[in-house]
Amino acid sequence: MSAVELKSKKIGVLMGGLSGEREVSLRSGENCFRALSSLGYDVVRIDAMRDVGMRLAKAEVEVAFLALHGRFGEDGTIQGLLELMGIPYTGSGVLASALGMNKVAAKKVVRQSGIPTPDYCEIGPQETAVEAARRVIDELGVPVMLKPVEEGSSLGVAKCKTETELARDIDIGRREFGRVFAERFVSGTEITVGVIERDGEAITLPTLELVPKNEFYDYEAKYTHGMTEFFIPARLDPAVAREAESLSLAAFEAIGCRGVARVDFMVPSDGIPLFTEVNTLPGMTDLSDLPAQAAAAGIGYPELVETILLSAGGGT
């Protein structure tokens, strides 16, 4: 749809929701709401709680702008509801959203597509934490990164340096997040590449290098002012930066993303970017990566939001 067509429709900015990233989503959503309002769109805020279908119907929303993060918003759940309701929406469809949220499934898909990713170990539900910790360290060594299979914003991510730490964190992770997996720790430069679609063509934004003050880029480092230093463009050899951009587009295509995504990598000393995850609904707060990357490309915040809106699909 064109901007002219969209300005004749009621746009609902879906925010908040039920995940552990609710507060971040509210910040993203408010920013996007204000941007769309400033551009003359007929826009309404929708808190995506369990009665979101009724809220959408009551507000007579015709197009959904998704500013949700985490479970029930980024995992294909809300996308499926919008498909059933016949409401076009921003971001990826049901399958790509579910794949992007499931870090293990995403790693399997991108690796099969020839995109390098750090080695990892799945942790079975029948294994005790002690058994799993011993096996993981035998296969991956230490330190190792323990991650929830389905969470965003680095929630629940832990860097484990001993077998005892790992067993403890597996227990904690299972209680708080359900399934967890272990990923080989990669020492190097942490980067992220934004991908947006314009006129149906996926393009990359300038690569951003993240230097957190914490031991790694955790939830606090992501959303606390002054806790992470950004370098745009990343301080990489130009050939490495180009490879990261190429791999980002390849991952975007392999997962089946639409509209917008952010692809994260670790770059070790050999200069080969290693895919860690894809975020199918990147944060849009004042401290988020994607708006900073867009600004470095000369794309202001309202223009970025409108570009994402123009890529809305599905639901028909």
Looking at 75, 190, 245, 264, which residue is catalytic? 264
Asked if the model's pLDDT at residue 222 lies above 70, the reply is no
Separation CA 91–CA 69 (nearest Å): 12
pLDDT tens digits for 149-160?
A: 997 657 789 999
- What number of CA atoms fall less than 13 Å from residue 208's CA on the CB side? 26
> Does the pLDDT value for residue 279 go beyond 70?
yes
Domains along the chain with CATH numbers: 3-91 (3.40.50.20), 99-117+188-310 (3.30.470.20), 127-184 (3.30.1490.20)
Which residue in 283, 301, 306, 311 is the catalytic one?
283
Is 111 an active-site residue? no
Residue pLDDT, tens place only, 253-277: 999 999 999 999 999 999 999 999 9
Query: 19, 153, 288, 311: which is the annotated catalytic residue?
Result: 153
Per-residue model confidence (pLDDT) at position 219? 60
- Cα angle 220-155-14, degrees, rounded to a multiple of 5: 95
277 classed as catalytic: yes
Residue 71 half-sphere exposure toward CB, CA atoms < 13 A: 11
Is 31 an annotated catalytic residue?
Answer: no
% of the chain residues with pLDDT over 70: 96
153 is catalytic: yes
214 is catalytic: no
Predicted confidence (pLDDT) at residue 183 exceeds the cutoff of 90: yes
Residue 297 has pLDDT above 70, yes or no: yes
| Mean pLDDT of all residues in 168-187 | 94
Residue that the structure tokens 């994260």 belong to: 264
User: pLDDT at residue 216 above 70?
Assistant: no
In angstroms, the CA 98 to CA 15 distance is: 18
Q: Supply the mean pLDDT for the chain.
A: 94
Tell me if the pTM is above 0.85. Answer: yes
pLDDT given at position 11 = 98
Residue 223 has pLDDT above 80, yes or no: no
What is the C-alpha radius of gyration for the chain, rounded to an integer number of angstroms?
19
Among 234, 236, 229, 219, residue whose Cα is nearest residue 283: 219
**264 given a catalytic annotation:** yes
Query: Quick check: 53 pLDDT over 70?
Result: yes
Which is more confident, 20 or 77?
77
- Asked whether the predicted pLDDT for residue 83 surpasses 80, the reply is yes
Residue 248 catalytic? no
- Measured distance CA(176)–CA(181) in Å, rounded: 14
Catalytic residue chosen out of the listed positions 21, 74, 289, 306: 21
Asked whether residue 4 carries a pLDDT value surpassing 70, the answer given is yes
Catalytic residue among 223, 248, 259, 301: 223
CA quadruple 194, 254, 198, 68: dihedral sign? negative
